[in-house]
Chain A
Amino acid sequence: MKTMIAFWSILKKDILNYYLKPPNISWGIIFPLSWTLMQLMRSEGNLGIVELLPGLMAMSVLFGTTSMLAVTITFERKGRSFDRLLLAPISISILVVAKILGAILFGIINAFIPVIFAAFFIDLSRINWGLTIVAIIFIAVTSALMGLLIAVSAKEVFEAQTLSNFFRFPMLFLCGLFVPLDKLPVVLKPLSFILPLTYGTDILNGSVTGNSVFSAIINFVVMLAFVILLFYLCQRNIKKKWIL
């Protein structure tokens, strides 16, 4: 019970202090938004839009979650207020979940921005929404954990921002968001397969357009494995790097 109070309080503070503040929203929303508009305008007819949608959604989640976490955590680390969280009588794993949950929610909401735009052009009734939402949640969780992993390594806010861009821009191309996996050069393919976003996007492709590389089950299992691995790494790194 006491832990829950602390948990909600951390989450609420992050949402009120960071997620709803304009400067922090910029990277998370503006970039995916303008990319969405640009792609939608360029797309040739309705068929094009449907095919773009999974990539746009995946991108919105990725940018939404990673920017939020990297910035808020390095910011609090620098001002040392983060010490208060480490000193609170709650376990590191509860702290990790509380910290990433805000970003996850933000990412999930972000995912629907391209959907709203697409709704003006195409009929969305044939999309498998159940599958889509689970995929979005998985993408949000893995991206948030990656954001946290980056935040643990960065000392400055700009460093966190740069590092997360270093990882997420290549992911736009490597994970099948806008370039189908089979069109990637052979040398880059192994890279795609070690990135969780590849599998999340594949589920989205399946649920929106019906074309996926792997079956949904395989994708989910792989995503789950990534979640566990990343969660473990985050916890380990926090203990190693923050408790000196």
Chain B
Amino acid sequence: MEIIKVTHLKKTYGDVEAVNNISFSIEQGEIFGFLGPNGAGKTSIINMMIGLSRPTGGHIMIDGIDAIKDIKKVQKIIGIVPDENNLYDEMNGFENLCFCASLYGMRKKEREKRATELLKQFNLLKASRRPFKTYSKGMKRKLTIAAGIIHDPKIIFLDEPTTGIDVESARQIRELILDLKKQGKTIFLTTHYIEEAERICDRIAFIVNGKIVKTGTVNELMENAESEHKINLVLDNNITGSRAELENQFPNYKIKMVGDNSCLIISQERIALSPLLQLLDSKGISVYEAKAIKPSLEDVFVKVTGIEAVQLRIEREKLGT
């Protein structure tokens, strides 16, 4: 069942077209991810869906409610984890969680119980009486996520849940997100980590310059890229001398050198290994390793967006790890 449906969504800031006619829908219970570089429009889209920003055009339906007209109704059933850790610096972890719970009308007993539960689950119980400002980045991120789900929302928006924190904390957060999915929550997240999207999202939309360039499950996205077959061969010798003959024998294969003792065979069809190995053997070249190179989501991303994955990496590093 479709729980979120966005159609022809637009947002312009002055003459910046931040979101340019975007449509997508999210199924109940799935993890849907927006993958895109800085400035792609991810946060702008989330902000319009949660009521922090007004669309220039388009429609947003969330759980059967018109989110543009009736945002206060929508806000009851959604949980939000913004890109910044925006809890109250002076208040401690426990107080912060209780305060956020109270904003959703939870009673004192109920909110204290839930806050304690989450602090335990997020490994923050020891720090729960310390002011938020004394927390490390990872702890802050975790508490911000806890605050976003304290009222047990049906749909959860996570804007870059793991940006700027170490590998271990990021792993824990991904586990938590998968846990939420198991509880039946619908999750919408944005990220610029390709691996993260690949690992936890059921469906991914590539977003660049305010437009969705492609949407699908990881498998669907990959299908497109699997048009080429690649095999990496590691040899005991330099192949240069035999290259011409190889190309003659196998006109359908493209051969690319990778360093001195390794090459890449690229073909539109499946590659039959034994004739290849025989030929090399007859030339006195031993093959130590033959490895099929599966396209990664990264390759797909590069292919459909025209953005080098390195670009995403650089931006990620700029944000600080």
Q: Known contacts A9-B99, A87-B80; is A1 also within 8 Å of B105 by CB?
A: yes
- Report the stretch among A47-55, A75-83, A122-130 that lies at the interface: A75-83
The B102-136 residues at the A interface (CB cut-off 8 A) are 102-107
20 new A-B contacts at CB < 8 Å, known A88-B104, A89-B105: A1-B105, A3-B105, A6-B102, A6-B103, A9-B99, A13-B99, A17-B90, A79-B86, A79-B89, A80-B82, A81-B87, A81-B88, A84-B100, A87-B51, A87-B75, A89-B73, A90-B72, A244-B47, A244-B52, A244-B53
Chain A contacts of B107 at CB under 8 A? 5
Q: Is B236 at the interface (CB under 8 A from chain A)? A: no
B: contact size bracket: 20 to 34
Across the interface, do A244 and B50 meet the contact criterion of CB distance under 8 Å?
Answer: no
Highest count of chain A CB atoms <10 Å: which of B53, B100, B102, B107: B102
Chain B contacts of A34 at CB under 8 A? none
Chain A contacts of B137 at CB under 8 A? none
Across the interface, do B86 and A87 meet the contact criterion of CB distance under 8 Å?
Answer: no
The B65-90 residues at the A interface (CB cut-off 8 A) are 72-73, 75-76, 80, 82, 84, 86-90
Chain B contacts of A13 at CB under 8 A? 88, 91, 99
20 A–B contact pairs at CB < 8 A? A3-B105, A6-B103, A6-B104, A13-B99, A79-B86, A79-B89, A80-B86, A81-B88, A83-B52, A83-B82, A84-B100, A87-B75, A88-B103, A88-B104, A89-B76, A89-B104, A243-B53, A244-B52, A244-B53, A244-B54
B90 closest partner in A (C-beta): A17
Chain B contacts of A84 at CB under 8 A? 86-87, 100, 103, 147
A95 closest partner in B (C-beta): B103
Across the interface, do B72 and A81 meet the contact criterion of CB distance under 8 Å?
Answer: no
A240 closest partner in B (C-beta): B54
The B18-58 residues at the A interface (CB cut-off 8 A) are 47, 50-54
B147 closest partner in A (C-beta): A84
Q: Is A91 at the interface (CB under 8 A from chain B)? A: yes
Chain B contacts of A87 at CB under 8 A? 50-52, 75, 80
Chain B contacts of A1 at CB under 8 A? 105
Across the interface, do B86 and A89 meet the contact criterion of CB distance under 8 Å?
Answer: no
A-side binding surface: helix, strand, loop or mixed?
Answer: helix
Highest count of chain A CB atoms <10 Å: which of B72, B73, B89, B105: B105
Q: Known contacts A6-B103, A89-B75; is A17 also within 8 Å of B82 by CB?
A: no
Nearest-neighbour CB distance to chain B for A239, whole angstroms, equals 9
Q: Is A2 at the interface (CB under 8 A from chain B)? A: yes
- The contact string, 1 if C-beta is below 8 Å from chain B, for chain A 1-41, is 11101101110010001000000000000000000000000
Chain B contacts of A133 at CB under 8 A? none
- The contact string, 1 if C-beta is below 8 Å from chain B, for chain A 194-205, is 000000000000
- Distance in angstroms between the alpha carbons of A1 and B89 in the assembled complex: 28
- Distance in angstroms between the alpha carbons of A83 and B76 in the assembled complex: 15
- Distance in angstroms between the alpha carbons of A83 and B147 in the assembled complex: 13
Across the interface, do B103 and A90 meet the contact criterion of CB distance under 8 Å?
Answer: yes
Q: Known contacts A80-B82, A84-B86, A91-B72; is A5 also within 8 Å of B105 by CB?
A: yes
Q: Known contacts A84-B100, A87-B80, A89-B75; is A5 also within 8 Å of B86 by CB?
A: no
Q: Is A224 at the interface (CB under 8 A from chain B)? A: no
Across the interface, do B104 and A2 meet the contact criterion of CB distance under 8 Å?
Answer: yes
- Distance in angstroms between the alpha carbons of A17 and B50 in the assembled complex: 27
A18 closest partner in B (C-beta): B90
Chain A contacts of B72 at CB under 8 A? 89-91
A243 closest partner in B (C-beta): B54
A244 closest partner in B (C-beta): B53
Chain A contacts of B87 at CB under 8 A? 81, 84
- Distance in angstroms between the alpha carbons of A84 and B182 in the assembled complex: 26
